[in-house]
Amino acid sequence: QFHMIKHEDLTWRESLGQGSFTHISRGSKTDQRDGVTHSTEVLLKVLDANHKNCWESFFEAASLMSQISHKHLLLVYGISVHKSKNIMVQEFVKHGALDLYLKRSMSVSVSWKLDVAKQLACALNFLEEKNIAHGNICAKNLLLAREGDPSADNSPFIKLSDPGISMALLGKDVVLDRIPWVAPEVLDTLEIELECDKWSFGSTLWEIFNNGEAPLQGLDPIQKQQFYEHFSNLPALEWTELADLIIQCMQYQPELRPSCRSIIRQLNSLITSDYEILHATGTHPK
Ligand X SMILES: Nc1cnc(-c2cc(N)nc3[nH]ccc23)cn1
Footprint of ligand X (CB under 6 A): 16-17, 24, 43, 74, 90, 92-97, 143
Q: Which is nearer to ligand X, 165 or 187 (CB)?
A: 165
Q: Which is nearer to ligand X, 95 or 224 (CB)?
A: 95
- For the bound state, the minimum distance from the C-beta of residue 144 to ligand X, rounded and expressed in Å, comes to 8
Q: Among all residues, whose Cβ is closest to ligand X?
A: 96
Q: Report which DSSP code applies to 219.
A: -
- For the bound state, the minimum distance from the C-beta of residue 94 to ligand X, rounded and expressed in Å, comes to 6
Q: How far from chain centre, in Å, is Cα 260?
A: 16
Q: Which is nearer to ligand X, 204 or 266 (CB)?
A: 204
CB atoms within 10 A of CB 260: 20
Does the bond joining 150 to the residue before it have cis omega, within 30 degrees of 0?
A: no
Please give the full DSSP string across 36-88, using - where no structure is assigned: EEEEEEEEEEEE-GGGGGGHHHHHHHHHHHHHS--TTB--EEEEEEETTEEEE
- For the bound state, the minimum distance from the C-beta of residue 127 to ligand X, rounded and expressed in Å, comes to 18
- For the bound state, the minimum distance from the C-beta of residue 255 to ligand X, rounded and expressed in Å, comes to 34
Whether the CB-CB separation of 156 and 116 falls below 8 Å is answered with yes
SS3 state at 22: strand
Q: Which is nearer to ligand X, 95 or 178 (CB)?
A: 95
Q: Which is nearer to ligand X, 82 or 94 (CB)?
A: 94
- For the bound state, the minimum distance from the C-beta of residue 120 to ligand X, rounded and expressed in Å, comes to 16
